[in-house]
Structure 1
């Protein structure tokens, strides 16, 4: 595949970022264009780099994941990477293309979330 899906990781947990980056590397459709440890840095990176897909932690210091969604003007596909089950009640959930629960270790579940995000664009 010549046109890979450009991915950005935004997560304050270094081990979670490393796992997500490893899973991205195992999926031939994807390429990681960057990773951010903070939400403000992540929002700026989304605006600057315009990724196709963002793996976004919801619970971070400073802006949380939902606040990142509120401040960005560019709208990539968003896969939430979370350990919380409270995400679906938020009013911004329509901007989210998929969910993965931490710790993310299963490649098949990861690929299913990516498939869901990709297909959501076609509907």
Structure 2
């Protein structure tokens, strides 16, 4: 019976025919469910991948915005160590004033490295 075509089942008695149809529909339901779950997993993976690519792209763009970031960070750190009792304005802004450095971009870049 496993090699029979579905159309040939009509020649069987009703009890056997309905049993075979029930088995067929049960198996097809499982196959359809499996295929839908697989499709859902693929869609979720693609969404996740696209989101990750977008975040990386935004990070790279933010990273590029701050030119000379390592030198600026080094000078800020050195000044902070040399003048620990001074205010932020007295230590940081002589090294990198607000016009030449967007501190928000620098903080965003620094947080990214701290999280990873």
Considering the TM-score relative to the shorter chain, is it more than 0.5? no
Instruction: Determine which structure has more spread, i.e. the larger CA radius of gyration.
Output: 2
TM-score normalized by structure 1? 0.17
Give the structure with the higher percent strand: 1
Q: Counting helix residues as a fraction of each chain, which structure ranks higher? A: 2
